[in-house]
Structure 1
């Protein structure tokens, strides 16, 4: 890849996911005790970040369906739309149960991805699409595992399970495009620049604003979390 893309990935791609791994000064602080287990700041921010990821990756999937010039890029775009629609449904189910406010917009940095790729076309679009999305998914992969292994909240665990499967699938389809520059991607993931927290945080929804819904495709294969009609999912019996 050229220097321009390397600069873009270093300055833009990784920080959009950084908020998931550094959400506060006390990530394990319990902010609510629920029938599904205690909810920490880290748990809450994870649900918000999964929602925010869909708010830019789902639109990029739609763009990729129109602009992609190879079958592999089209397939990757289909997986983005399908996977994030299902994750979004899960987030919108879980959030009110845990009293979590969800954003209607991605973070400023994530919106920057959409702006950048909307302006591109042809081979440049395909290459930047595959590399930016490989970097961001690779960056979040380990974080999902950490959430899954440490959270005491069964709803958050269920969302982490779904997110893990979805992100692994998206990493795989991006790699199958044959366009990923692994040296640049791995360097960007392990050497993140520091940006203001305001660039990494999705804005809260405006009062009274309708909730944005990411509609599943007609041929959807991904499924949202099954909450069993609202009953606790593997509840923690030690929490009232």
Structure 2
């Protein structure tokens, strides 16, 4: 039964299944629970993917915002910006201790160094001085806090884990207070802040990574449809007959199998009396020169003289009965 399925269709289905399984395994490992990609039971209740994601994002925020706040204490040109840097530095150290304790209790792996994008921001600010530094420092940290605050609020109102709920409430207080610090400087450009994610396909805590498996399923369906359509267009005809042109019937095949009749044997009679489609075969014993043929008398045939308008047959050549053909009348000699 499997051999009847077109090869292109089988290949497309196998490739799609392998991609879907690979993506599912990758998502499971990324979520910290290989093989499950869902909730795990803990002493404080079920721990879901959104809970683990919150701990990771808060840890990443502290890895670059705490040292940046410490840098602002010395590099900022305005006193209020220096004060904001000092507060953010100390409070992020406290928040980082909370996230590490919570992650250890729940068995969640958290990063140990900033991301490449965060390192780029830190290098950008390190090269600035004066008011340029103040403006970029406030704007970068305000945008980062505004991005993580909705994640904290969403987990706080929807988590099923009691320990994560307590941590989310504490993290919400820290981040909200930091936003107030930064906005108090008057250097925030609100028109340049990133827009909040719109609800819909990527809403409710979903990200682009959550669309990998659905996209692979849709791709598999499209490939299967294309392969099926292609197989139907070039479907072969019955076995043993050509794909194109009318198939010969049994009668035609039988007639074609009969050998053509052989030509009749050479006759001694003049070939002009033989009618048919076969070509004329010349007799090697007949001379082709002159208006009348001359037959050689070597052999069982009589010798015919071509002198005159009448022929004379020798009595010794034919039979005891001789026929004389002198003149227009015939005499028989017995």
Shared fold by TM > 0.5?
Answer: yes
Counterpart in the other structure of 1:74? 82
Q: 131-140 or 48-57: which moved more?
A: 131-140
Structure whose residues are more often helix by fraction: 1
Larger radius of gyration: 2
Give the Cα–Cα distance (whole angstroms) in 2 for the partners of residues 148 and 39 of structure 1.
13
Match of 1:116 in 2: 124
Number of the residue aligned with 2:168: 160
Partner of 1:190, secondary structure, is coil
Contact 1:30 1:38 in 2 (8 A): no
Q: How does 1:87-166 map to 2 (within 5 A)?
A: 87-166=95-174
TM normalised by structure 2 equals 0.47
Cα distance between partner residues in 2 of 1:191 and 1:42: 16
2:39 aligned counterpart, secondary structure: strand
For residue 100 of structure 1, give the secondary structure of its aligned residue in structure 2. coil
Give deviations 1:173-199, integer Å, cap 9, x for gaps: 1111111111112xx23379xxx98xx
Q: What CA distance in whole angstroms lies between the structure 2 residues aligned with 1:161 and 1:41?
A: 18
Report 1:194-205 matches (<5 A): none
Deviations 1:143-190 (A, max 9, x none): 2110100111111111111111111111111111111111112xx233
> Shift of residue 30 of structure 1?
3.2
Q: Which residue of 1 aligns with 2:47?
A: 39
Q: Which has the higher contact order (CA 8 A, sep 6+)?
A: 1
Q: Whole-Å Cα distance in 2 between the matches of residues 30 and 152 of structure 1?
A: 13
Aligned to 1:190: 196
Contact 2:58/2:148 (CA < 8 Å) preserved in 1? no
- Does the 8 Å CA contact 1:37/1:152 hold for their aligned counterparts? yes
Matched residue, 2:93: 85
Q: Give the whole-Å Cα distance in 1 for the aligned partners of 2:134 and 2:97.
A: 28
Runs of 5+ consecutive residues of structure 1 not aligned to the other structure: 1-22, 198-240
Contact 2:54/2:151 (8 A) holds in 1: no
Partner of 2:60: 52
Provide structure 2 residue ranges, at least 5 long, that are not aligned to the other structure.
1-29, 32-36, 199-207, 210-334
CA RMSD of aligned residues (A): 2.2
Q: TM-score, normalised by structure 1?
A: 0.65
* Helix, strand or coil at the partner of 1:189: coil
The 3-state SS of whatever aligns with 2:195 is helix
Equivalent residue, structure 2, for 1:18: none
Aligned counterparts of 1:189 and 1:70: Cα–Cα separation in 2: 28
CA distance in 2, matches of 1:35, 1:66: 44
For residues 113 and 120 of structure 1, the distance between their equivalents in structure 2, rounded to whole angstroms, comes to 11
For the Cα contact (< 8 Å) 1:95–1:102, is it kept in 2? yes
SS at match of 1:135: helix
Native 8 Å contact 2:38 2:49 kept in 1:
yes
User: For 1:59, what is the secondary structure of its paired residue?
Assistant: helix
Q: Which moved more, 1:98-107 or 1:50-59?
A: 98-107
